[in-house]
Chain A
Amino acid sequence: MIAGISIYEILTVTSALFFIGVYGFITRKNLISILMSIELILNASVINFVVINKYLYPDMLQGVFFSIFIIAVAAAETALAVAIIINLYRQIASVEVKDTEIMKY
């Protein structure tokens, strides 16, 4: 654990990061920017897993395993999302949310 830093301060930082991600997710109009906001949200939750593991249950490693899995799933999700965005750009020449209608049915 970090000397002189309580768990509350780290959780404050991660909560702020999470809500910055939510703000970006709602206000952005571009698919790639929304993807980046999702990365922020996922990272905030990963830090929470690691910190709670380290501060409350230091002799276990479950938090670390879960964060590794979250990072792997995030990588897979980003690869798929980028593929979908590029394919969409080929078909409608735009990555704005308001133009994205062809995947609805």
Chain B
Amino acid sequence: MEKYIFYILSLIIIVFAIASVTSKKMLRSVIYLLFVLCGIAGIYFLIDYNFLAAIQLTVYGGGIIVLIIFSVVLVHHIEMELELARRSKQILVALICLLGLGVFLTTIYTHPFNVIENSVSTTTEDIGFGLLSYEKGGFILPFEVISVLLLASMIGSIVIAKGKKLTDKNETE
């Protein structure tokens, strides 16, 4: 059963990813990206990482997609068609990407992975304890650094998006 769900999810991911990078309409391509991200959340549910799936749905599906849709609506007409690369360039890039995919797949399939059969279930509690533990192997320092990074990027994006007005006001003072 889970097998077929995985195949359906990966089909959704691949098809909508291709649609997302080839679609001519900007807003449609964003919505295809949303489908890809939801499919990835489904894969996290399948491998039993519910917390990560929830993060994926809220941060990507809820935050980043809305942000991108806002920027698309602010800088484009809805019906505007995108300018595509030349046909020859598209084919060349597709060939190079297929070549790279071939290299990746031969490397993956010749490497003997030491898979451990398990059905370990990870609870959110384990993740929380691991993130906030300050013993060996704990992740408290990166956790704090990430929070400072998020704050800095928030202030930075406000300053950048506000643009000229802010600097003009500073100069007159």
Interface residues of B (CB under 8 A from A): 2-3, 6, 10, 13-14, 17-18, 20-22, 26, 29-30, 33, 36-37, 40, 43-44, 46-49, 51-52, 55-56, 59-60, 63-64, 67-68, 70-72, 74-76, 82-85, 89-90, 93-94, 97-98, 100-101, 104-105, 108-109, 113-120, 122, 126-127, 130-131, 137, 139, 142, 146, 149-150, 153-154, 156-158, 160-161, 163-164
Contact = CB atoms under 8 A, between A and B. Distances in A.
**Interface range, A side:** 35 or more
B154 A79 contact: yes
Contacts, number: 220
Given A4-B3, A50-B44, A36 B30 contact: yes
Contact of B67 (A18, A57, A78): A78
Is the contact region of chain A dominated by helix, strand, or loop, or is it mixed?
helix
B82 A33 contact: yes
Nearest to A51: B47
Contacts of B98: 19
The 7 closest A-B pairs by CB, nearest first: A24-B21, A83-B157, A76-B153, A83-B161, A4-B3, A58-B118, A83-B160
Is the contact region of chain B dominated by helix, strand, or loop, or is it mixed?
helix
Contact of A15 (B22, B82, B101, B126): B101
A54 B150 contact: no
A69 B3 contact: no
Interface string A71-105: 11111111110111111011100011000000000
A63 B110 CA distance: 23
